[in-house]
């Protein structure tokens, strides 16, 4: 390995799965991807960070996890849930962690420990530093480049925060890759027969994603993604904790309920709950023992798999709507899929496997074990196959390592394409959303359009960048705003090119250029949208719900703009041709213009009006002004010929 690196003079790029619960670092050696173990032989690093004292070095991983029980207020877990999010987006339930979380409305989330306010990126950077160190110990040299994975549904702010965490840890982040895409690579699905379609069902500790990918001529394309960054194994744990707490109060009396608020006890119960849940994936019942919960009370309870399933079924069923939405977005039905792959520790739970099997109509739930039969056809008659041949905890990290190897030129003929979860565009005159990059476009992607001014002597254009699925700008989310200045000119003359580029990391760069002077501004949409994924879901649902109203609003606004334009042009023409036209004709034109004005006045406070009346009146005005338009054209032609000296 060392020689290989020296010959090519390139440093190794590692693949990192920065998970909610566990994080892993992986690499590819001699064409084989594998997870790098730490000094103790552990391949999974719990995403847990402990700060023993002010200014002391962070303790990360298993050691921090052990301390978590006794020092819960100084030990941070599931920090991924806070990455790139604003205070206002954090629910009370999410704040109910055993460490302090400062989530002020507009401000960023911080975690105050020993008098220092840590950002989620700084905490994540500690995890990444530990993985970097493990990789350096393995290679015996500095490792400075990494590919890091994120849930497919992470927005720009969350992706940027992840990238920043990598940089804080001393990495150059070569690429941010969607977790399901990485998982598909790890499953070796690039070796499938051509035109295969795959669904990746990823249920981890804190996030859920369903992605539908298509393999076409050796190229992976994500057809659609849907998910929720606040749905995962932690939610199941919480359900069990609630149940255990109520059992404790039942057994030891109401006086204990106050005690149960202590963060130490909460952490103990949470750990017992998670460990019982994991055991129940292979056993049908477990004994949960919590000795000396209070000095004179020990608790024990036999939890069965059936009770666990009854407690948590509702959470697992919540993934259903995301699966259906992803299928609908990809314009596919479950039976069109060839494989469903399961990723994330929580998919080890038998109920999850059963649910996924049933939802996608998988063939007798027959799982493909021991790897895929490469290039062979699958039994499609009974629906797609449920593939669990990979270790669901490691698949994402292995895929990231494969992507890293592709970037280093090690693997060829595989290209990864991801898609945008929501449409991106700018606000145009009249308050409409002008989409530049539609939802589910494959990234990286670049798209541009030319815009002009709506008013005379306009000296600047406001570029209002929007994300969302609604027709009216005000119903979408603002990603950012900036202005481009240019020389004063009559309306419709300036030409401003606006280009959107989403890079391979899913980050949006907006460029606006005055084509006359070449003056331009490029803005990276760093702050992105201050909304969470359930809001993304809501946006998509609302766009469907309001599709009819939205379309009517767009039609009205477009007709209104055209009517206003026609009125201005008519008035100008009447003034400039006043001497050449009959008075009666001028009166008729003015009357037709008044009819248009009356139709425009039908606009109500909700921004809609009588569209038919408006269209008919504009048509009538167009019709009646035809001779006037011809006259104007003749005058313009004459002026031009005279200017060139062709006539006197």
Number of residues that bind ligand AMP (CB under 6 A): 18
- C-beta pairs of 129-133 under 8 Å, 24+ apart in sequence: 129/58, 129/60, 129/169, 129/170, 130/38, 130/45, 130/60, 130/61, 131/14, 131/16, 131/23, 131/24, 131/25, 131/45, 132/14, 132/25, 132/169, 132/170, 132/171
| Interaction residues for ligand AMP, span 383-412 (CB under 6 A) | 393
Per-residue HEC secondary structure of 249-297 comes to: HHHHCCCHHHHCCCHHHHHHHHHHHHHHHHHCCCCCEEEEEEEEEECCE
Q: What is the dihedral of CA 245, 249, 251, 252, to 10 degrees?
A: 120
Which positions from 251 through 290 interact with ligand AMP, judged by CB under 6 A? 274, 277-278, 281
- Is 22:46 a contact under the CB 8 Å cutoff? yes
CB of 206 to ligand AMP, least distance (A): 7
Taking the complex as a whole, the smallest distance from the CB of residue 345 to ligand AMP amounts, in Å, to 2
Select from 14, 16, 18, 20 the one that contacts ligand AMP (CB under 6 A). Answer: 20
Residue among 12, 71, 80, 132 flagged as catalytic: 80
Examine residue 22 and tell whether it contacts ligand AMP (CB under 6 A): yes
> Least distance from C-beta 538 to ligand AMP, angstroms?
25
Q: From the list 21, 124, 423, 617, which residue makes contact with ligand AMP (rule: CB under 6 A)?
A: 21
Pick the piece of the chain touching ligand AMP (CB under 6 A) from 17-25, 483-491, 519-527, 589-597. Answer: 17-25
Name the residue nearer to ligand AMP (CB basis): 269 or 525. Answer: 269
Structure tokens at 551: 């379309």
Stretch that binds ligand AMP, among 15-23, 256-264, 407-415, 585-593 (CB under 6 A): 15-23
| 232 vs 480 by CB, closer to ligand AMP | 232
Segment contacting ligand AMP by CB under 6 A, of 16-24, 138-146, 175-183, 367-375: 16-24
Which residues have C-beta within 8 Å of that of residue 520, sequence separation ≥ 6?
484, 511, 512, 513, 514
In the bound state with ligand AMP, the residue whose beta carbon lies nearer, of 234 and 329, is 234
Residue closest to 190 by CA, chosen among 426, 467, 413, 420: 413
Give the nearest residue (CB) to ligand AMP: 233
Smallest gap, in angstroms, from Cβ of residue 603 to ligand AMP?
Answer: 52
Pick from 151, 205, 227, 384: which binds ligand AMP (CB under 6 A)? 205
Instruction: Determine the Cα–Cα distance for residues 298 and 296; give it in Å rounded to an integer.
Output: 7
Q: Which is nearer to ligand AMP, 237 or 550 (CB)?
A: 237
Beta bridge partners, 287, equal: 302
Task: Tell me the closest approach of the beta carbon of residue 396 to ligand AMP, in angstroms.
Answer: 7
For residues 299 and 251, is the Cβ–Cβ distance under 8 A? yes
| Catalytic site includes residue 202 | yes
Number of other residues whose CB lies within 10 A of the CB of residue 488: 12
Identified binder of ligand AMP from the candidate list 33, 151, 233, 383, rule CB under 6 A: 233
Smallest gap from residue 137 Cβ to ligand AMP (A): 22
Q: How many Cα atoms sit within 13 Å of 315 on the Cβ side?
A: 27
Please identify which of the residues 89, 156, 179, 533 carries the catalytic annotation: 179
Spot the catalytic one: 38, 74, 202, 234.
202
Smallest distance, ligand AMP to C-beta of residue 17, A: 8
Instruction: Report which DSSP code applies to 205.
Output: S
- CA-CA-CA-CA torsion for 567, 572, 577, 583, nearest 10 degrees? 50
Q: Does residue 427 contact residue 471 with C-beta atoms inside 8 Å?
A: no
CA 83/CA 547 separation, integer angstroms: 33
Q: 12, 15, 19, 401: which one contacts ligand AMP (CB under 6 A)?
A: 19
CA distances to 38, 52, 81, 390 from 169, in Å = 17, 20, 19, 29
Hey, which residues between 334 and 373 contact ligand AMP (CB under 6 A)? 344-346, 348-349
557 CB-near residues (< 8 Å, 6+ apart): 430, 431, 432, 472, 607
Place of tokens 């460029």: 511
What residues numbered 576-615 form the site for ligand AMP, per CB under 6 A?
none
468 forms part of the interface with ligand AMP (CB under 6 A): no
Choosing from 17, 122, 235, 405, which is the catalytic residue? 17
Q: How far is the CB of 127 from ligand AMP (least distance, A)?
A: 13
Work out how close the CB of 188 gets to ligand AMP at its nearest, in angstroms, rounded to a whole number. 19
Whichever of 392 and 421 has its CB closer to ligand AMP, that residue is 392
Q: How big is the CA angle at 252 (ends 246 and 253), to the nearest 5 degrees?
A: 80
CB 168 within 8 A of CB 160: no
When the beta carbons of 342 and 593 are compared against ligand AMP, the nearer one is 342
For the question of residue 17 being annotated catalytic, the response is yes
Q: Which residues bind ligand AMP (CB under 6 A)?
A: 19-22, 204-205, 233-234, 274, 277-278, 281, 344-346, 348-349, 393
User: Among all residues, which ones are annotated catalytic?
Assistant: 17, 80, 179, 202
């Amino acid at each position: 390995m060392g020689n290989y690196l020296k010959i090519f003079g390139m440093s190794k790029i590692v693949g990192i799965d920065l998970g909610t619960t566990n994080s892993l670092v992986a690499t590819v050696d001699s064409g084989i991807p594998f997870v790098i173990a730490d000094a103790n032989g552990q391949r999974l690093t719990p995403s847990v960070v402990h700060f023993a004292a002010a200014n002391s070095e962070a303790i990360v991983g298993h050691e921090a996890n052990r301390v978590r029980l006794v020092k819960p207020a100084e030990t941070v877990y599931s920090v991924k849930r806070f990455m790139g999010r604003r205070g206002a987006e954090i629910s009370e339930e999410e704040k109910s962690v055993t460490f302090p979380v400062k989530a002020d409305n507009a401000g960023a989330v911080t975690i105050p420990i020993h008098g220092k306010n840590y950002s989620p990126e700084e905490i994540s950077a500690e995890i990444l530093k530990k993985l970097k160190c493990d990789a350096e110990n393995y290679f015996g040299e500095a490792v400075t480049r990494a590919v890091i994975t994120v849930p497919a549904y992470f927005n720009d702010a969350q992706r940027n925060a992840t990238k920043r965490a990598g940089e804080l840890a001393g990495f150059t982040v070569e690429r941010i890759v969607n977790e399901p895409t990485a998982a598909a690579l790890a499953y070796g699905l690039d070796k499938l027969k051509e035109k295969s379609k795959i669904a990746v069902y990823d249920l981890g500790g804190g996030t859920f994603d369903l992605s539908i990918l298509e393999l076409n001529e050796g190229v992976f394309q994500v057809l659609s993604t849907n998910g929720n960054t606040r749905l995962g194994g932690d939610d199941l744990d919480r359900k069990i904790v609630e149940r255990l707490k109520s059992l404790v109060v039942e057994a030891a009396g109401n006086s204990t309920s106050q005690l149960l608020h202590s963060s130490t006890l909460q952490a103990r119960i949470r750990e017992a709950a998670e460990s019982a849940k994991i055991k129940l994936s292979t056993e049908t019942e477990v004994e949960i023992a919590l000795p000396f919960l209070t000095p004179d009370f020990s608790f024990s309870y036999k939890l069965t798999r059936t009770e666990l399933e009854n407690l948590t079924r509702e959470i697992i069923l919540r993934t259903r709507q995301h699966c259906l939405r992803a299928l609908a977005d990809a314009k596919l039905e479950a039976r069109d899929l060839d494989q469903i792959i399961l990723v994330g520790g929580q998919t080890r739970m038998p109920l999850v496997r059963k649910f996924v099997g049933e939802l996608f109509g998988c063939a007798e739930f027959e799982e493909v074990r021991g790897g895929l039969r490469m290039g062979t056809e699958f039994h499609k008659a009974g629906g797609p196959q449920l593939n669990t041949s990979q270790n669901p905890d490691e698949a994402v990290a292995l895929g990231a390592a494969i992507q890293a190897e592709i970037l280093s030129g090690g693997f060829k003929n595989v290209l990864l394409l991801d898609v945008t979860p929501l449409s991106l565009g700018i606000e145009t005159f009249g308050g409409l959303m002008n989409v530049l990059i539609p939802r589910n476009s494959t990234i990286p992607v670049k798209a541009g359009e030319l815009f002009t001014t709506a008013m005379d002597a306009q000296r600047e254009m406001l570029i209002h960048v929007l994300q969302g699925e609604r027709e009216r700008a005000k119903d979408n989310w603002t990603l950012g705003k900036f202005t481009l200045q240019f020389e004063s000119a009559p309306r419709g003359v300036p030409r401003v090119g606006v280009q959107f580029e989403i890079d391979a990391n899913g980050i949006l760069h907006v460029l606006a250029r005055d084509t006359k002077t070449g003056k331009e501004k490029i803005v990276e949409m760093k702050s992105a949208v201050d909304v969470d994924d359930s809001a993304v879901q809501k946006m998509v649902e609302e766009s469907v719900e309001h599709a009819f109203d939205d379309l009517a609003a767009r039609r009205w606004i477009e007709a209104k703009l055209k009517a206003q334009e026609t009125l201005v042009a008519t008035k100008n023409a009447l003034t400039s041709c006043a001497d050449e036209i009959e008075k009666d004709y001028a009166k008729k034109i003015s009357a037709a213009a008044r009819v248009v004005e009356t139709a425009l006045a039908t606009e109500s406070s909700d921004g809609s009006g009588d569209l038919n009346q408006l269209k008919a009146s504009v048509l009538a005005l167009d019709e009646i002004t035809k001779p006037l338009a011809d006259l104007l054209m003749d005058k313009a032609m004459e002026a031009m010929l005279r200017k060139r000296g062709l006539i006197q």
